[in-house]
């Protein structure tokens, strides 16, 4: 095709009146000059999904860019994230995901990037602990840290006020220790993805499942223990993944009204499946219960009334197996 290639031309950096720079999904390669930050009227920088290499240039001390949005995702940028990016008080969106950036996430000066709404540094090679100032950004709605090598604990500083955070994606890192027990400062939280970390043994904080706007929770592949949290306040919840932990105790008597996917496999849950388990959840299409210690049989209503399952999985009946769920093959989609 006619995909743009070559490097960013020098003359472009001299276009002083340019307000928006959109060069994306091209074969453009080479490095980004720090002259980018001297383009004093430039508000939007969109250079995502090109073949840009080198490092992200620091903002020169005597430059005062007005940048609102900067998307450098999907390139081959390396090196560390310049501290100076977090001093841009105008910046609302900073997307650096899908590169090969290294080092730590810089400490965020206050007041600094106070208008930041969306920060995405996912799929890089970032390490170290998170700066505590991250949890004090007053406008932050979406924080994407997924698929890096961050470690240490997730800690909210004392006295953090109500935060507008809607999405926290921190899956596939090396976080450890315990997660905070009080999440009440995040009443707008809709998506919480913490799967595939090394969080220490602790019960799942009830305050997470008491957040009324939650739609998507994935805490799988950790070491959470104790019993399942109450789901009484989860009216918006659609996806709940708690598989591959060390959870015990019984299943809840009923499920949230909007839930579609419930994965509880590979835990130590016991008892029977309650009669009304599915009754109030007409959208439910995936329930994974295998590799637990459940007994009894699948409730009668599970496969009647026109309900169709995408996945309904339990432990099968085998000779010498004590814990299994009796479920006919025209009802359960798989047994293990």
pLDDT of residue 13: 95
pLDDT at residue 2 greater than cutoff 70: no
* pLDDT higher than 90, residue 314: yes
Residue tagged 């789901």 (tokens) = 231
pLDDT confidence bin for 69, thresholds 50/70/90: very high
- pLDDT, one tens digit per residue, over 131-140 is 999 999 999 9
> What does the pLDDT average to over 70-74?
98
For 221, other C-beta atoms within 10 Å of its C-beta total 20
pLDDT surpasses 90 at 301: no
pLDDT at 1 over 60: no
CA angle 41, 42, 48 (to 5 degrees): 175
H or E element in which residue 11 lies: helix 10-13
List own/partner pairs for 302-309 with CB under 8 A and 24 or more apart: 302/273, 302/277, 302/278, 302/327, 302/331, 303/328, 303/330, 303/331, 307/278, 307/282, 309/285, 309/333
Q: 237-295: per-residue pLDDT in tens? A: 999 999 999 999 999 999 999 999 999 999 999 999 999 899 899 999 999 999 999 99
- pLDDT band for position 224 (50/70/90)? very high
pLDDT above 70 (res 167): yes
* Residue 216 near residue 242, CB atoms below 8 Å: no
Name the average pLDDT for the chain: 95
Give the span between the Cα atoms of 280 and 19, in whole angstroms.
52
């Amino acid at each position: 095709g006619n995909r743009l290639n070559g490097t960013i031309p020098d003359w472009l950096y001299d276009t002083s009146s340019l307000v928006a720079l959109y060069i994306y999904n091209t074969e453009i390669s080479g490095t980004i000059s720090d002259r980018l930050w001297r383009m004093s009227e430039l508000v939007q920088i969109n250079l995502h999904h090109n073949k840009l290499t080198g490092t992200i240039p620091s903002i020169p001390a005597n430059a005062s860019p007005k940048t609102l949005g900067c998307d450098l995702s999907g390139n081959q940028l390396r090196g560390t994230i310049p501290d100076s990016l977090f001093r841009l008080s105008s910046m609302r969106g900073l997307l650096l995901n899908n590169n090969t950036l290294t080092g730590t996430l810089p400490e965020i000066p206050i007041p600094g990037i106070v208008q930041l709404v969306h920060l995405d540094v996912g799929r890089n090679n970032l390490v170290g602990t998170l700066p505590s100032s991250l949890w004090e950004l007053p406008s932050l709605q979406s924080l994407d840290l997924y698929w890096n090598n961050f470690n240490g604990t997730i800690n909210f500083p004392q006295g953090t006020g109500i935060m507008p955070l809607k999405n926290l994606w921190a899956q596939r890192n090396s976080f450890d220790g315990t997660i905070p027990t009080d999440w009440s400062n995040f009443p707008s939280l809709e998506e919480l993805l913490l799967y595939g970390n090394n969080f220490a043994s602790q019960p799942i904080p009830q305050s997470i499942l008491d957040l009324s706007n939650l739609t998507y929770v994935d805490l799988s592949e950790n070491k959470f223990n104790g019993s399942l949290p109450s789901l009484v306040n989860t009216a918006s919840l659609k996806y709940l993944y708690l598989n591959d932990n060390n959870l015990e105790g019984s299943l809840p008597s009923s499920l949230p009204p909007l839930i579609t996917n419930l994965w509880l496999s590979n835990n130590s849950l016991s008892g029977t499946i309650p009669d009304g388990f599915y009754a109030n959840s007409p959208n439910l299409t995936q329930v994974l219960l295998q590799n637990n210690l459940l007994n009894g049989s699948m409730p009668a209503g599970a496969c009647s009334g026109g309900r169709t399952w995408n996945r309904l999985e339990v432990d099968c009946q085998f000779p010498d197996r004590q814990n299994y769920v009796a479920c006919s093959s025209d009802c359960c989609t798989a047994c293990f």
